[in-house]
Structure 1
């Protein structure tokens, strides 16, 4: 992977994200920021972190024509604001950024669109799984990604700290927890050497779930937000997925909440290899109280260490999930976050988890997702 970028390819655009513009319409509830865990984070960042959405496939998987059709335009950010969302998390593939001199300019233009739409941007680094595995063993790979962050931090050094946040590594996928944190600390150092006041985000060592968060010892660095992802239980949220565990492809129509009685009419209709897993999902009896044990664990970790936590991804695949169940899971999960003072970012704006369907300029809001997320009128 050719990760090094010439500074000349990343021209500093003085107007990019400059100025704060109109402040966010959506504000964090006072209880979200009153317990001291968000100390050291600028007030406007705290406020804008309350509710947001991912734009996951905008600067990743750029070669997929099916995803290109969904890239957002100015109307998308206006619609996000109307719904009450105040930030957008943008995943970035560093290999794509580095292989063509024009690609940094595409990123500049995209971030400018989000700024013009008055959204706080969280720029999250998403290398391939293969590159992450290299970083888990090879310090040279870490330095390659560090160089990318140095260039990005330099390019966007003039951007106000309350308009752009850097998430140094999405889902590290590294077994060695201590090494995963050393890597993220190295990436933070690369950013802070250029922009000392920039807010940064780190996540747990593997796929950044609640257990990964709870296993962390916070870094001795101020201005850090700790993220986790929430897709519990995966057999429900990922039913019908065409990636990951092959069993997800044959699971469908699983209801939420789950119980043996609720699954009884569903199990016989599934492929035989999936029936045992679906029946077990019913026996586990997933409901709001069970989800609460996970959210409360994340909130307790935050309070124990007096550092901010943020759920940067949560959602349910649309196509194979009963709509009422998807709405119920989103309602329970989102309300638990808000009760526990956890900032959240829905996954995703468009696509298989999407809050919207259709093309830019003609988006249709998924009413089950909108209602579950407690957002404004469609």
Structure 2
């Protein structure tokens, strides 16, 4: 009986939200451009055509809020949104950037920038273009973020009264050393607005998905060749290759068991929150830092995670299209710059 009730509630939520299923983030375009960036060639309409042919239904476009006044940004962003509409891809415009998420949002001084970008979104159809009000805001606690988030939703409604909004999980679940998306998500309180999708990242296990990433902390930077599912033989080899001086806890962490069952257990935090509050949820980022991850492990992880999300009717967006997490990393017909992004 409880299963049937849960199933009916999940189906009701799915019917009420936009038909988002699987998409891709178009990173390093309007945010975090690298030295090879060219606004006219980094992403073209042919990339949208390719994504549609592969069965994706949406793109997520991160926009650095500090750059909104640069002359090329808004005309190019309008074009990027229109390409989505022309190719039957829904579009999520996401508020990125340290200035906004780490300064203006925590200081509650975000209103001008939020409305500036929302006004661009307002030019497009409400059923095809959606707006994510923040991305990993650096707020000390989920409780504080829940209050700020509610105020931000009200502010966005001044410009976007009828459109679906997406929110974010805060950067941390407690002020000191509290980086854990699932813990932070589980402690959030939703607003009373009924057209909001609550999002989080799913990068479990972190040292697999971020192995070798120089910007992900000194420990992750040292981990290379780490396989999924995690097995003792591979973990021991990775540990032997660690440099001296790594924290004592790192080898034990690398030996922890990770497989589809463990990932499914971790995901239940999200499902429980959705069922408790009767609010739609979405995983706005899944992906793997590709340069040092074993190729076959990448395929196994992506298959397990997307299967679990599909089974639980949770839409998701892959990170990313043309960066070091690239969806097309191994595609011989596609150029992926093999460098580190800032």
Normalised by the length of structure 2, the TM-score is 0.86
The reply to whether residue 82 of structure 1 matches residue 53 of structure 2 is: yes
Q: State which drifts further: 185-194 or 245-254.
A: 185-194
The residue number in structure 2 matching 1:4 is none
Query: Where in structure 2 are the equivalents of 1:155-170 lying within 5 Å?
Result: 155-170=120-135
Q: Of the candidates 259, 262, 268, which is equivalent to residue 287 of structure 1?
A: 259
Contact 1:251 1:274 in 2 (8 A): no
3-state secondary structure, aligned to 2:25: strand
Consecutive unaligned residues of structure 2, counting only runs of 5 or more, are 1-6, 173-179, 337-342
Q: Of the candidates 125, 133, 138, which is equivalent to residue 102 of structure 2?
A: 133
The reply to whether residue 337 of structure 1 matches residue 312 of structure 2 is: no
Consecutive unaligned residues of structure 1, counting only runs of 5 or more, are 1-30, 366-378
Contact 1:86 1:119 in 2 (8 A): yes
Q: Of the candidates 14, 37, 59, which is equivalent to residue 13 of structure 2?
A: 37
Q: Distance in 1 between matches of 2:330 and 2:145?
A: 38
Q: State which drifts further: 49-58 or 67-76.
A: 67-76
- The alpha-carbon distance between structure 1 residues 71 and 155, as it changes in their structure 2 partners (threshold 3 A), is same
Q: Deviations over 1:121-165 (max 9, x none)?
A: 00000121x5433336533xx2xx322232333334242211110
Compute the RMSD of aligned alpha carbons: 2.6
The reply to whether residue 106 of structure 1 matches residue 87 of structure 2 is: no
The residue number in structure 2 matching 1:197 is 162
3-state secondary structure, aligned to 1:205: coil
Contact 1:32 1:341 in 2 (8 A): no
The reply to whether residue 72 of structure 1 matches residue 43 of structure 2 is: yes
Q: Deviations over 1:271-291 (max 9, x none)?
A: 234595663244311111111
The reply to whether residue 252 of structure 1 matches residue 224 of structure 2 is: yes
3-state secondary structure, aligned to 1:264: helix
Q: When the two structures are aligned, how many residues end up with a matched partner? A: 322
Q: Distance in 2 between matches of 1:324 and 1:165?
A: 34
The residue number in structure 2 matching 1:9 is none
Q: Deviations over 1:209-255 (max 9, x none)?
A: 22211111111111000001011111111001010211222210111
Contact 1:172 1:204 in 2 (8 A): yes
- The alpha-carbon distance between structure 1 residues 32 and 266, as it changes in their structure 2 partners (threshold 3 A), is farther
Q: Of the candidates 147, 150, 170, which is equivalent to residue 185 of structure 1?
A: 150
The reply to whether residue 117 of structure 1 matches residue 87 of structure 2 is: yes
- The alpha-carbon distance between structure 1 residues 34 and 258, as it changes in their structure 2 partners (threshold 3 A), is closer
- The alpha-carbon distance between structure 1 residues 191 and 65, as it changes in their structure 2 partners (threshold 3 A), is same
Q: Distance in 1 between matches of 2:235 and 2:120?
A: 53
3-state secondary structure, aligned to 1:195: coil
- The alpha-carbon distance between structure 1 residues 266 and 340, as it changes in their structure 2 partners (threshold 3 A), is same
Q: Distance in 2 between matches of 1:256 and 1:132?
A: 32
Contact 2:106 2:137 in 1 (8 A): no
Q: Distance in 2 between matches of 1:171 and 1:313?
A: 11
3-state secondary structure, aligned to 2:199: strand
Give the C-alpha shift of residue 113 in structure 1: 2.1
Contact 2:232 2:255 in 1 (8 A): yes
Contact 2:121 2:131 in 1 (8 A): no
Q: State which drifts further: 111-120 or 219-228.
A: 111-120
3-state secondary structure, aligned to 2:262: helix
